[in-house]
Amino acid sequence: MPRLVRSIAVGLVTALVPMVPLVSVASAGADPAWLDAGPTSPSRAAVPPLHPCIDPDHGDPAITRVSFRPTSIDIRRRPATVHVRVKVADTGGPGRASGPARGEVSFTRGVAARLHVVDRSTMAGTVTIGRNEFPGRTDVTRLLLDEVTVVDQAGNTTDLVDDDLAAVAASTGIDVVGVPDREPPVISRLRATRTRLDARRGDRRIVLTARIHDAVGDVVRPQVSIYSLGRRGSYNAQIELRSLGGDRFRGVWRVPRWAPHALQRYRIDSISVSDSTAGTRFRVRRAPFIQRQLGTDIVRVRSRVDTTPPRVRDVRLSPSAIDLTDGPRTVVARIRVIDRQSPVRAVSFDKYAFWAASPLPQRSRLVSGDRHDGVWEVRVPTRCSINRTPYAAEPGVWFVADGASLHRTYRLRNHDVSVVLSGESAVQPRYRASAVDTSSIRVRFGAAVLNLTDAAGELTRPDGTVIPGSWTACADAVGASVSCLDGPVRTAVYTADDPLASGARVSLTVNPSGVLDARTPYGMPPVDYPAVAVIP
């Protein structure tokens, strides 16, 4: 279903800036009385421009062809790769098409190919099936084409399944020939170059080697898990083991110079491996096996001592305020971090806040000073914020860590965040539908709308069949008749061209795919989901 909202944006200020008064907006879970509120803006004959937070590309991308080759693979001796290709038609509407952005082709048994953009009409991807990937009682496994998803740059999404997918697919699945494999890999050996060392002059390394074999399948993702012992600091490492050929694997553990204790202890907790990319046959060996192989599961290291986490001296955010209804922006944040012992190794803005464009950690760069006393900068992209109240905001959190894995957080306080709202301009009106008779559906809008063209309404049956019709009987909040185009429209009737069967369940969508005609005087289209009604 199309996503009209491009994203959320918020203005931020430092702790030195007083909090700007906030203007509350109607929330999605408002009381039904909200629908009976009076008009909030004067009628406008001219169609207002779209709100800056609304992407003008409102059209779902069309998937016209799905193909993959080969359609039969043999994985008895080696892995095999299937190449997938998807043809896409993205026409946009009413604005220019943004073009495809990402997608996925899914088969049964958890096999999927992520798609990348080749050009505006083509997406491609690959999926690799490991040697004897799938266990079973037969030598042939059928992977059926299950679902295809394409998302355009504006966030509009198309999913094809079942008959719709079969209509555009060149093949229905992949035949996989392999040997049934029901046993996990065998870990027969683990060695470490040392279990005691002195790291006071710099980071050191320990080489880990292992012998792992599987009679039928490939060895996938072997790794050794290590963590620190002690009450201060936290250190966890996953050491990947890489193949040296045959059943031999090798990995390197870089032991840190700094630690909260002069004699730091680390535990080699486990060695694990799978023989399937799906992880269906998994083997893990823990303390008893490791102790037998190494003589101990504890690694003792003499380290430089650091018991003090980094200190956050100052946080400055620019700009100091953003009107979240103006569109996406970038907040430039600078933070001064001091650590007189081990150098600062990580500074990030790593907790999701509703104004940030991504919940992923936003890494910083050192812009002045050094890793013992320096200023770090991160640029946090923001998103438009609509249909919500700023009181739901969750301030972000700065995370800083040093070479001893000691860390400290700085939480942005409520008065660090300044949100500027323009009242109703940041709200997409909701709407409800109810059947009047066998051919008429009454719609009530949560706010006044204009430009209610016939193209701005679509009545459909559960099977997706579109029922032609038009808007009539438009009225304002007090029930007075108004033009469906000039408004302000608070209620309207969508009349089907032909009577509908009694008991039929229908869906009415305001502004269907490719259409953004209906909107408030502030340029906000109604929310992007259909209203359901049952014909009496």
Q: DSSP string covering 67-118, please?
A: EEE-SEEE-SSS-EEEEEEEEEE---SBS----EEEEEEEESTT-EEEEEEE
> pTM value?
0.72
Residue 22: what pLDDT?
27
Between 232 and 458, whose confidence is greater? Answer: 458
Neighbours of 130 (CB within 10 A): 21
Instruction: Taking residues 505-519, report their average pLDDT.
Output: 94
Residue 529: what pLDDT?
87
Q: For residue 63, which amino acid is it?
A: I
Residue 361: what pLDDT?
56
Between 13 and 433, whose confidence is greater? Answer: 433
Instruction: Taking residues 513-535, report their average pLDDT.
Output: 92
14 — pLDDT class (breaks 50, 70, 90)? very low
pLDDT in tens, 312-361: 887 777 776 666 666 677 778 888 999 988 999 888 776 555 556 665 55
Q: Is the pLDDT of residue 28 over 70?
A: no
Q: Is the pLDDT of residue 105 over 70?
A: yes
267 — pLDDT class (breaks 50, 70, 90)? very high
Helix, strand, coil % (nearest 5) of the chain? 5, 45, 45
Query: Which residues on neighbouring strands pair with residue 50, listed in sequence order?
Result: none
Calpha distance 134→217 (Å, rounded) = 9
Instruction: Taking residues 59-75, report their average pLDDT.
Output: 94
Neighbours of 341 (CB within 10 A): 17
Residue 114: what pLDDT?
96
Calpha distance 202→257 (Å, rounded) = 5
Q: What is the mean pLDDT of the chain?
A: 82
Residue 13: what pLDDT?
28
From 7-21, 32-46, 395-409, the region with the lowest mean pLDDT: 7-21
CB neighbour list of residue 459: distance below 8 Å, 6 or more residues apart = 441, 466, 467, 469, 494, 496, 506, 507, 508
Euclidean distance between the first and the last CA atom of the chain, given in angstroms as a whole number? 28
pLDDT in tens, 211-260: 999 888 788 889 999 998 876 667 888 999 999 999 999 999 999 898 88
From 173-182, 290-299, 375-384, 511-520, the region with the lowest mean pLDDT: 375-384
Q: Is the pLDDT of residue 445 over 50?
A: yes
pLDDT in tens, 320-333: 666 666 667 777 88
Query: Which residues on neighbouring strands pair with residue 225, listed in sequence order?
Result: 238, 270
CB neighbour list of residue 279: distance below 8 Å, 6 or more residues apart = none
Between 5 and 61, whose confidence is greater? Answer: 61
Q: Is the pLDDT of residue 458 over 90?
A: yes
Residue 277: what pLDDT?
56
415 — pLDDT class (breaks 50, 70, 90)? very low
How wide is the angle at C-alpha 64 spanned by C-alphas 60 and 69, nearest 5°?
130
Residue 358: what pLDDT?
60
- How many helices, marked H, and strands, marked E, lie in the chain? 2, 39
pLDDT in tens, 367-389: 999 999 999 988 877 777 676 55
Most confident residue range from 59-73, 174-188, 352-366: 59-73
25 — pLDDT class (breaks 50, 70, 90)? very low
Torsion, Cα 386 527 430 356, to 10 degrees, reads -20
